[in-house]
Amino acid sequence: MPLLVTGSIGVDTVETPAGRRDNVIGGSAVYFSYAASFFAPVRLVGVVGEDAPRELFNVFEHRDVDTGGLEVRKGSKTFRWHGSYLKDLNEAESVQTDLNVLAERAPKIPDNFRDSRYVFLANTHPVLQQEMLCCLKEPRLIVADTMNLWINTARADLVKLLGMIHGLVLNDGEARLLTEKKNLIEAARDVLKMGPKFVVIKKGEHGCLMVSERGTFVLPAYPADKVVDPTGAGDSFAGGMMGYLATQGNFSPATIKRALAFGTVVASYTISDFSLAGLQKTDRDAIDERWHHYKQAMDF
Amino acid sequence: MPLLVTGSIGVDTVETPAGRRDNVIGGSAVYFSYAASFFAPVRLVGVVGEDAPRELFNVFEHRDVDTGGLEVRKGSKTFRWHGSYLKDLNEAESVQTDLNVLAERAPKIPDNFRDSRYVFLANTHPVLQQEMLCCLKEPRLIVADTMNLWINTARADLVKLLGMIHGLVLNDGEARLLTEKKNLIEAARDVLKMGPKFVVIKKGEHGCLMVSERGTFVLPAYPADKVVDPTGAGDSFAGGMMGYLATQGNFSPATIKRALAFGTVVASYTISDFSLAGLQKTDRDAIDERWHHYKQAMDF
């Protein structure tokens, strides 16, 4: 079942204790698409400027990612982000953010993408996220990500979006900011009252938490002894999760749990190297093997 | 199989976002003993001053805790601690610490305790921890806790202790301080090189991590929607873990995993109320039920 994603596509400069990389490929929709494509066909919707580097178009060669929704906008510049993890490997410090084309109008969803049943709205303004939904014929599972910026500056729009989606994925700090609850279980329950059927709270190196009406599920992160670059971990997690769900055709608690575990495992590859290099070095067999190892590492 | 514990016994004043309690029962050995006694008979070794409150002696009535090693020292004062969690529920700020009798000579292990096979050395000076070991006939499992203070001020003594024990339990900050490794898996591996067969790193609300030569085991904390007072959580965790191990007679990876899960569940009762009140409200049946619920909440 094809999986539609819309979100940022960009060029990153990243500093971590392991080194620095200038002008590498990044963006939430890029990490998400690569990660999800280990599981299901992906339809990517996004926009770059005419300065977009060639590598950005090559990255999905040989991947099951339809880039028919990737707009190269003339006269515009590609989104750029410069982040540093030198102070805290668990949280990026933005050195510079140039929204560029992301501050303009949203990209269009191609007509042949409108029948997508599985949809992930990566982080962007909640009004744009809502607009995307209007173009879809009969979505079966809509999951969104968000961030502090929109919680602070567009709360009403975000709350409206929450009434239109099935699942919300956000990190612990964002969940606390959105609900003003310190305890994450309480925070998750407050999010459920706003509309979503389930909420996934990402805790970085501490794993994740999923809360739905049917219960609570907790997962530690994959025990990694080498974290090179955490950029894209959350998007890769969401990609692995949604990619697996798109292959299953049901949303039972057991299916969602397995999906979260796949998300966790895929993210463990992302953080093992800079940019997409960690994901590019793995394949579905290796992911399945690590998934079983991870399952076993928790089983008691 | 009786389980010997030695550590602090004291009177706490605690402030948390849920309220404040003055002069309540506390101390690492007290939490440990109460928690372990859900599983196995406990032998408590510790020392208090002649000002020790009556409740301290009553707390183990009707519990399988032999207080024959509890010395009431004339002319000495009981250990007192005043801690605050107002800034961070995951880490206590010590407002005041009066070591009192804990700064004097260590208590004696009674002769009839010397055949104990399972031993937990709760946090105290590593030289005192070593002295305890000299009095034991044939210990089968020795696990110790430690803290920042000894890592900073008595590192050589602590390293010597590590060569004499089977397991070390410590929190994430302590593991990083001891090994100068930020990554916890790397830190744990460095601890193993110092002697212990296994190391358990407690991460508070983020669960725990166990590393041995045979592998790595990760566990999230029990998903609690109400944290009243985290005091004693780590000691209760160790108590549940060691109490369960003392009933098993083997240290297979599977047994140790189950033990860590029992520790996690017992600690979830401790944090649900002030002082020992959370533990006093539960029983072994409720613990077993929550253990199964916890296992299920992670199973995928």
This model of the complex carries an ipTM of: 0.71
CB-CB neighbours of A88 under 10 Å: 11
Number of H helices, E strands in chain A: 11, 13
C-beta atoms of A206 and B206 within 8 A:
yes
* Residues B222-226, mean pLDDT to the nearest whole number: 87
Per-chain mean pLDDT for chain A? 94
Q: HSE (CB half, 13 Å, CA atoms) of B299?
A: 8
Token output for A241: 């999760």
**Any idea which of A149-163, B107-121, B126-140, B262-276 has the lowest mean pLDDT?**
B126-140
Distances from the Cα of A114 to the Cαs of A72, A132, A164, A287, in angstroms?
A: 20, 10, 17, 30
Shortest Cα distance from A168 to chain B (angstroms)? Answer: 19
Set of chain B residues whose Cβ sits within 8 Å of the Cβ of A261: 300
Segments in B64-199 forming alpha helices (H) = 126-134, 148-153, 155-162, 172-179, 184-193
The percentage of residues in chain B with a pLDDT greater than 90, rounded to a whole number, is 78
* pLDDT tens-digit series, residues A99-126: 999 888 889 999 999 999 999 999 888 9
Place of tokens 């599977």: B254
pTM: 0.84
Confidence (pLDDT) at A89: 87
Contact B300 A218 (CB under 8 A): no
SS3 A164: coil
Q: How far is CA B200 from the centre of its chain?
A: 12
Mean pLDDT of chain B: 94
Q: Shortest CB distance from B300 goes to which of A182, A224, A257?
A: A257
* Nearest-Cα residue of chain A relative to residue B189: A225
**Alpha-carbon gap: A102 to the closest alpha carbon of chain B (Å):** 35
- Res A68 pLDDT > 90: yes
- Nearest by CB to residue B298, choosing from A203, A218, A254, is A218
For residue A221, the chain B residues in CB contact (below 8 A) are 218
The answer to whether residue A9 scores a pLDDT higher than 90 is yes
Which residues are bridge partners to B14 per DSSP? B21, B83
Computed on alpha carbons and rounded to an integer, the radius of gyration of chain B in Å comes to 18
C-alpha distances in Å from residue A35, one per residue of A30, A47, A64, A165, B279: 9, 19, 11, 22, 44
CA distance A270 to A18: 14
Helix (H, G, I), strand (E, B) or coil at A84: strand
Encode pLDDT of A15-55 as tens digits: 999 999 999 999 999 999 999 999 999 999 999 999 999 99
- Predicted confidence at residue B292, as pLDDT, reads 94
Query: What is the model's pLDDT at position A163?
Result: 96
Q: Which residues of B touch A (CB under 8 A)?
A: 17, 89, 182-183, 185-186, 189, 203, 206-207, 209, 215-221, 223-227, 254, 257-258, 260-261, 295, 297-300
CA pair distance B140, B246, nearest whole angstrom: 10
C-alpha distances in angstroms, B45 versus A159, A168, B10, B33, B200?
57, 51, 13, 10, 23
Average pLDDT estimate for B7-32? 96
Kindly indicate the confidence band of residue B190, based on its pLDDT and cuts at 50, 70 and 90: very high
Longest dimension (CA), chain B: 58
CA distance A173 to A92: 13
Letter string b/e over residues A48-80, b meaning 16 or more CB atoms within 10 A of that residue's CB: bbeebeeebeebbeebebbbebbbebeebbbbb
Can you tell me the mean pLDDT for A164-190? 95
CB pairs under 8 A between A and B: 82
Residue A185 has its nearest CB partner, among B219, B224, B254, at: B224
**Contact across the interface for A298 and B295, Cβ inside 8 Å:** no
Q: What is the DSSP string of A265-289?
A: HHHHHHTTSSTTHHHHT--HHHHHH
For the CA atoms of B132, B163, B9, B115, the dihedral, rounded to the nearest 10 degrees, stands at -40
* Cα–Cα distance measured from residue A125 to residue A67, given in angstroms and rounded to the nearest whole number: 22
C-alpha angle B204/B208/B214, rounded to 5°?
165
